[in-house]
Amino acid sequence: MALRQIREIGDEILLKISKPVTAMTKRTEELIEDMIETMYTADGVGLAAPQVGVLKRVVVIDVSEEGDEPIVLINPEVLETSGEQTGNEGCLSVPGKTGVVTRPNYAKVKALNEDMEEFIIEGEGLLARALLHEIDHLNGVLYVDKVEGELLDTAAISEEKEQ
């Protein structure tokens, strides 16, 4: 395993559309392992492959308290959303910033696991937000385009973030 460099806003790769994974290869297995390690090291709750410079439809997420339950999603597709949540969002590719984004409160997503087997994941609240944020990355979309009002420095709202 190895840490990968996280691409930051301004890097054009973040605006590109990622390609579906057609078969699990050694290279993709390594990518997934590296993405999980990179996400945990950066203290993030999710990471999409284009954020480490690879245009493949691969996402890792962990919104658990302990940060030890990584979910791997390959070729994820949103099947259903409902409700609404408004809250602060951040992104490892936009360091030190946060902004208010409204998203559905529930998302049902179909994806492949590391064995290329289909599964369905349903998420509410933070998990729904993470799923939709990461899938946006695969389509070249950054949350900064969805922010209501100003993008703020995280230091300025640290008390809110601790909730």
Tell me 115's DSSP state.
T
Closest residue to Ni ion, judged by C-beta, is 91
Cβ neighbours of 59 (radius 10 Å): 30
Q: Please say which residue, 8 or 122, places its beta carbon nearer to Ni ion.
A: 8
Cα–Cα distance for residue pair 158/15, rounded to 1 Å: 28
Q: Please say which residue, 91 or 107, places its beta carbon nearer to Ni ion.
A: 91
Q: Name residues whose C-beta falls within 8 Å of residue 138's C-beta, 6 or more positions apart in sequence.
A: 17, 18, 48, 49, 50, 57, 59, 76
Question: What count of residues does the chain have?
Answer: 163
Amino acid identity of residue 152, one-letter, is L
Shortest separation between residue 91's beta carbon and Ni ion, angstroms: 3
Interface residues with Ni ion (CB under 5 A) are 91
Shortest separation between residue 115's beta carbon and Ni ion, angstroms: 26
Q: Please say which residue, 24 or 55, places its beta carbon nearer to Ni ion.
A: 55
Task: Record the tokens describing residue 32, joined without a space.
Answer: 């997934």
Catalytic one of 69, 80, 134, 162: 134
Whether 134 is catalytic: yes
Shortest separation between residue 36's beta carbon and Ni ion, angstroms: 15
- Residues with a catalytic annotation lie at 134
